[in-house]
Structures are given as C-alpha cells and as structure tokens.
Structure 1
Amino acid sequence: MATLTKTLKLPFLRLNQAKAAEFARLEVLNTSVANQILALPKEERRALTSKSFADVEIGSAWVNQTIRNANAKTKVKRFRRLPLETNNQNWTLHKVGDTFSVSFGLLRGIKKRVPLEVHVTSHRELLQALLDGKAKAGSIKLSRSRRGLWYALISVSMDVPDAENTSRWIGVDRGQNVPVTAATPDGPVIFWKAARIRHVRRIFSERRKKLQAAGKHKAVRKLENRERRIITHINHCISKALVALAMRLHAGIRLEDLSGIRQSSKQRKTTKSDAGQNRDYWPFYQLESFVRYKALAAGVAVDAVRPHYTSKTCHHCGAINQRKKHAYVCTRCGHRAHADANAAQNIRDWYGLCCPLELDALVGGPHGPALNPVGQAAAQAVA
C-alpha cells in the first residue's frame, strides 16, 4: 500500500472580527518568537523547548512547532510572517449535522471549536474518512490570505492501493515549446501546446521591468505571485488531463528523469534573455510532481527512464541524428516525424539502450545492418 498525503485548504465559517483579530495578533507574536530563535547561535537553538518561552501566551505545542520550523529554515535571516502550526496531537475534528469544525488550544489552557466551510465534495470525503478512522490526521496550520481571509490548512494521509503492473505505457516528453507530448500505447500522439505559457512569461516579464524601473517593488511581488498562480493552474490542468488519459487507456505514465538538466544543458544568451524560452523558468519539476500525486491517487503506475538521446534516436531504426527544431529526419532509414513525438515514442518503448547495436556489426560480420557514422564510432568504442 502506498501513502497519499494531501493538504486541505478550508476557510473558517463566519469567522467573527474578534477571532480574526486574535488570530492576527498571535501570528505576529509567533513571528516574533521565530525571529528571536533565528538571532541565536545554532547550538543554542537546538536546546530550545517551549519552557524557554514560558512568558508567551501561545500554547506550548504551537511554540514547539515554531521552534522546529525556525531551526529547519537555515538560510532565512528574518521571517516576515510565520503562520501558526501544530502537529496532529493538538487539534480535533468534529461534525454536527453537515458542518465540520476543528477544536484546538491556541492559547495556553484554552481550547475552542471553530466551524469550517467545506464546499468541495472530495474535501468532505477526506474529512469523513478522518472521522471514520480511514485516514490519518497530520498537522494544522492557520493561514491568512492577501484578502484577509483565514484558512485552516489540514494535512491528511491515507493508504491507497499500489498501481498494478502493466505492459502498456504512455511515453511523455516534456519541453518548453510543447509542455507535454504523450505517445499512447495504441499509436496516436497527443500534444499539449505552450503558447499561453510563453505569452504569460513574456507579458509579465515586460511588466516587471517597467515596475522595477519605477521602484514599485510591492507591485512586482504581486505580479510574480499572479504569474506563478497562472502557471500552476496550467500545470494542474495538463497533469489532470494526462492522468485521466492514462486511466481511460488502462496504461501507466513513463517520464524522463530530468533532474539536474538546468545545470547540465547550456543556453544561448539570446535564449536566456527571452522569458518565454529561458530554461530557468521551465516548470518541468512542478508538472512531474502534479502528475505523480494525481497518478498515485488514481492507481496509475508512473515510471522514470534516462533522458539520454531520447530526442536524437530514431524510433524506427535506432540511429542517432540531430533534430532541427520540431523536425526529425533519420539519415539512415528516412523516417520523418515531429521531434517531440519521436522522443515520446522512444520514452514509451524504452528498453535501456539509446541505440541498438548488432554483434555481427561489431565484429564486421556480413549479416549486420550497415551503421551510420555515429553508429560505427559507437561500435568501435564498444569493441
């Protein structure tokens, strides 16, 4: 059994102004405690407990979590705002009728119950699973939005069945011009275009330049947050559609392992200056994480393969060629295809080799097929 963890963002139901003001005041106090911890040497931080802040009116469980969070952020010099957070032992979920509520002791010695507003059906199912003992409660965090609305971020973990073994795979090639190219096990190739992503990157980059020149740094941060939300929404939509496709075809999803690609691949100055093409802005890891957790919840298998030469290898004969933008033409067998489609098919049918070599060809036998110059060089290297 695999474990799936989700964080539910639930607004408080009809939270009055007095409670909202109390949450805000205690959040400021919690941030002050965290900054006091950061000002101490690392040796003293590790010895801190809730007794070290006995004069603080926040509950000891919340203070202990603040100490852990402050110690974990080793590169942070000062917190602007640190939300209140505690572990699963210090809050309780209740249900009266159709209304869910949480009770927690935010102040020392005082425990209150606050109702939650739950509209999403999947959220209600997870909360009911918590009450029925089918899911395990995690931490709870009190978070305030930019509009001043308060939310309870509740972590929920539950066991899900392991994905079944399958011989049918959807090969997924990720890129900047085309975010996802999926080669289905039955043959057709599906493309998810990236025109909107590039447009958003370029438009927001130009706006940031103007705001930075005018010294409006707060507006720049708001613009960056908005851009991030748009790109995140696009990745959510693509990953959801990809997992739904895998469920319909009863297939697994096979991805490339792109870890370290930003450091290993070079960029031209003209490419890096274009916000729509700059690889530093490429959210490939976020898309992969969305695909993995959605696939885990749906029981879809996910596999990872080496990315070497998947874009240069001919899917028909295995020869290595150079792609020219979106066009792929094999100089050995004449195969023509969209370069991303060819790469997705290689990922789908990956067996661990980028270019198959015949033993007869290695020893110069008459039965092996003729290799192109790249294949001959590889054969000589192996020999």
Structure 2
Amino acid sequence: MFMAILTLTLKLPFYRLNQCKSQEFDRLTKLNTGIGNQLLEIPKTDRRKYTSKDFNHVEIGSGWINQTIRNSCAATKVKKFKYLPLEVNNQGWRIEKKGDIYSVAFSIIRGVKKRIPLAIHQSNHTDVLDKIIAKSTKKGSLKLWKSKKRVRNLPSHGKCKTHSRQGIWYVLLSVSMEVPDAEPVKNWIGVDRGQNQIAVASLPDGFGKFWNGRQIKHLRRRYQKLRKQLQKANKRKVIKRLESKERRIITYINHCISKQLVQFASYYGMGLRFEDLSNIRQTSKQSKKVRSDAGNSRHAWSYFQLETLTRYKAIKNGVPFELVPAPYTSKSDHRNGVIGKRNGHWFRGFDGYQCNSDWNASQNIGQWLGFSCPLDLQKTVFVMDADGLKDGVNGSPPSRVPMRRATARGCSS
C-alpha cells in the first residue's frame, strides 16, 4: 500500500502558565531577537560560518542558537527582526504523559530542563501526541509563540479590579506522519470557487451545496473603510491589529468550509476536484474601479488558502483530491460540452437551457475526463452553424473554440 506524507503543526497553549515563566519567555525572546539582528549585520558569506560556540556568553541553549542562525541565514531580504520567536529542531524537545496530562520538555537555558503541561482542547490532538510518544511519527521543530490577544483576569483576593496581560503563550509542534493513500473512487465532486459564492460543490446526479460569499464581502469592505479612517488619523498600530483580526476571521471561515467539503465528500464516498487557479490574478484582469473595492478585488480573494486547507484535510481523512484545468469550466454546458453563454449568476445553453452558472461550472469540474471527452464534434459543429442563435456562442468564432477545446482534451473526429 502506498503511503502519503502528512505534515501538521499543532498549536497548543500552555496549561496555567504562571507569570514568572511568561516573563522569562518574553525576556529570552527579546534576547533571541537581538542575536538575530546581530547576525543580519554580518555579510551573508560569513554569516553561515557562525555556530553556537560563537555565542557561549549567551544563556540560551546551543540548539536554539543554531536554529536562530539558520533562520537568520534564510532571511535574505529582512533588514531587521521585530520579533524572532525561539525555535529548536526535533532533537531539542519531547512529549511526556502522566495520567491524562500531556507536557512538553525542553531546555532553553543552558543546563536547565523544564517540563511544562499543555492544555489540549481537541481530541485529534491527543491522537497525534500519543503517536509522538510512541515514536510512530517524525518530529519536526518546536517554536514558542505568543499571541496578541488580551486576557483579563480577576484577582483571587483584594479589591474587585480587572487587570489585563497581553498575550497567550503557545507551543507550535511540527509533525510529519505517513497516512494511507486514498482508495480509487468512481465519482468526483466538483468544487467551483468564486467571490460571490465562496464554493459550490455538486454531486454527479445534480445535488449541490452553496457557500455564499456575502459575509466575506461585507467584512472586506467594512475593514477597508476602517483602514481609510485610521490612515487619515495616522494610527498605524491599530491598522495592523485590524489587518491581523481580518486575516484570522477569513482563515476561520476557510477552515469551516474546507472541513464541510471533506465531510461532504467522505459521506458520499467520492473525491474532490478543484480547478487550478494558478496565476489567476495575472491572467484575469480587473479594472481599477473594481479592484479598488475590497469586496470584489481578486487580490483580496483567499482562494489558495481554501485549496490548501481542503487538501491536507482530505489527505488526513483518506479523500482523493485533484486539480483540473480551469479553462472553459464556466463557459461550457455540463450536458454536452458545448460553449454557451454566461451572464452573471446564470448560464444558458445553445438550446435555451438555463441553470446556475457556478453549479454548471462545478458539474464540469467534477465530470472532467482528462485527455478524453464525450464531445460529439459533428453535433457541435452543426449547432454552431445553426441559425437563430440570439446571443451567439460567447462572442467567439463558431469554428475555432469547439475544435480548440476538443484538441486540448485529446478528442478526434
């Protein structure tokens, strides 16, 4: 049985991390950032010659220093680090379990080992941690990361005042594991991505699911308006915080959609087919007026993130995943492959047949046959030459587009 490699990054918060350790992490992170900035001042040719021995005067462990040197060498276009998190390779940490409590052990300060408990909020995380303990997975790097979220705590005694501390400390664990390749399937679910409809997934028998993009468009325009107001007031820190918040919301929405897509395909025992939208921002032009609207601009469209999240979830759950060419998926009739007319949300075939344009595109994606197609060229040419077509065939020469489409799919007359 062939195996696929699945790489995951677990984001786990520390369990009841006290203020002393939190401040220590802050101090060591600032020290690590200073070391990274010192290395950036050194020429690139000499920077790679440095090792942890050159930083014996620093209290941070050698494994962490070596990883900081690697990160500084990899940052070829960075002039100065604002925040360089502490990171160590797979040899510098381990997972332990006592009862139901998982903990991570590492040594940041030279000669001092610490074991800190973790807070586990998802059941699938425990499965991965058990595999790490059993050494059935390949460990990657460990990174200490502090969020920008403000947490309010009530004191246990004294006056009833609220005091806030900035940031929650997380540990980011990178893990690679082998999972069985997905079993071959007979039918595929086509998924069409867009900005009006974030995703449209349809079964071969016609049933489809729609994920509307109205919420994302409203969100993009709302934050765009806020940014303009804050830019006039020269509040740059608030702008960065809002951009980070907007990005997190969009990522959460894409996570939810990708999870539902994989569940949808797994329930019906089918695979997922996406259209390949590589370089669509360069190939699909937009006017400046349309691009200035954050709700319609393709530069604000996170189509690749949805594809990436769906891909790794599909691999993890044994659902086949494929990319198919995007040309003509929105302009072809899913019944016979003939070029039709698309007008907004509606698609109209040569015989007057009408259906939702996104649903029609998802049908074409799901029925894509590679380098063979059921296109009947004689019937197509006859339809193209027929009189009385109100809108023509998408405004293109009738004798070229179908033949070019057929040649691209390897059909022969």
Q: How does 1:214-363 map to 2 (within 5 A)?
A: 214-330=233-349, 332-352=350-370, 358=376
After TM superposition, the structure 1 stretch with the greater mean CA deviation from structure 2, 249-258 or 107-116, is 107-116
Alignment of 1:376 with 2:399, yes or no, is yes
Q: Which residue of 2 aligns with 1:70?
A: 72
Cα distance in 2 for partners of 1:349, 1:92 equals 47
1:179 aligns with 2:202: no
2:157 is matched with which residue?
A: none
Runs (5+) with no aligned partner, structure 1:
363-367
Partners of 1:360 and 1:216 lie apart in 2 by 65
Query: After the TM superposition, which parts of structure 1 deviate over 3 Å for at least 4 consecutive aligned residues?
Result: 352-362, 372-375, 378-383
- After TM superposition, give the deviation of residue 264 of structure 1 in Å: 1.0
Q: Name the CA shift for 1:347/1:134 in 2 (closer, same or farther; >3 Å).
A: same
Q: Tell me the distance in 2 between the aligned counterparts of 1:296 and 1:355.
A: 28
Counterpart check, 1:170 vs 2:189: yes
Instruction: Confirm or deny that 1:157 pairs with 2:157.
Output: no
Contact 1:320–1:355 (Cα < 8 Å) also in 2: no
Deviations 1:167-188 (A, max 9, x none): 2100010001101011112321
Amino acid of the structure 2 residue aligned with 1:344? S
The 2-side partners of 1:378 and 1:97 are apart by: 67
* Structure 1 residue aligned with 2:30: 28
Distance 1:93 1:33, change over 3 A: same
Task: Assess if the C-alpha contact under 8 Å between 2:182 and 2:318 holds in 1.
Answer: yes
| Distance in 2 separating the partners of 1:14 and 1:173 | 44
Residue 42 of structure 1 is matched in structure 2 by: 44
Q: Distance in 1 between matches of 2:340 and 2:217?
A: 28
Does the residue aligned with 1:276 lie in a helix, a strand or coil? coil
Task: Please give the alpha-carbon distance, in whole angstroms, between the structure 2 residues aligned to 1:185 and 1:286.
Answer: 26
Structure 1: distance between partners of 2:93 and 2:320: 35
- Aligned residue in 2 for 1:106: 108
Equivalent position of 2:146 in the other structure: 144
Alignment identity in percent? 50
Alignment CA distance shift 1:224-1:166 (3 Å)? same
Q: CA RMSD in A?
A: 2.0
Determine the C-alpha separation between the residues in 2 that align with 1:236 and 1:260. Answer: 23
Q: In the aligned structure 1, how far is the partner of 2:377 from the partner of 2:341?
A: 25
Residues 115 and 379 from structure 1, CA distance in 2 versus in 1: closer, same or farther, beyond 3 angstroms?
closer
* Cα deviation, residue 358, structure 1: 4.9
Change (3 A) 1:76 1:354: farther
8 Å Cα contact 2:60-2:108 kept in structure 1: yes
Number of paired residues? 377
Equivalent residue letter for 1:81: Y
Contact 1:317 1:333 in 2 (8 A): no
1:182 maps to amino acid: A
After superposition, the C-alpha distances for 1:11-36 in whole angstroms (9 at most, x for unaligned) are 22222222211111110010011111
For residues 24-65 of structure 1, the C-alpha deviation after alignment (integer angstroms, 9 at most, x for no partner) is 111001001111111121111222221222222111110111
* Residue 359 (structure 1) shift: 6.0
Q: Aligned-pair distance for 1:321? A: 3.0
Please give the alpha-carbon distance, in whole angstroms, between the structure 2 residues aligned to 1:256 and 1:74: 34
- In the aligned structure 2, how far is the partner of 1:161 from the partner of 1:106? 37
Tell me how far apart the structure 1 counterparts of residues 186 and 21 of structure 2 sit (CA, whole Å).
56
TM-score, normalization by structure 1:
0.93
Matches of 2:329 and 2:208, distance apart in 1: 16
Match of 2:19 in 1: 17
Query: Per-residue displacement from partner, 1:226-264 (whole Å, max 9, x unpaired)?
Result: 111111111111111110000110000000111111111
Distance 1:21 1:250, change over 3 A: same
Residue of structure 2 equivalent to 1:121? 123
CA contact 1:310–1:354 (8 Å) conserved in 2? no
Displacement of 1:355:
8.4
Give the secondary-structure state (helix, strand or coil) at the position aligned to 1:106: coil
Which residue matches 1:365?
none
Alpha-carbon separation, structure 1, partners of 2:323 and 2:309: 15
Distance change (3 Å), C-alpha of 1:284 and 1:379? closer
What residue identity is the alignment partner of 1:137? K
SS of alignment partner, residue 384 of structure 2: coil
- The CA deviation at 1:353 is 6.6
Deviation by residue 1:284-322 (Cα, 9 ceiling, x = unmatched): 000000100110111000011000111111112322234
**Matched-pair contact (CA < 8 Å) for 1:142–1:151:** yes
AA matched with 1:199: H
TM-score (normalizing by structure 2): 0.87
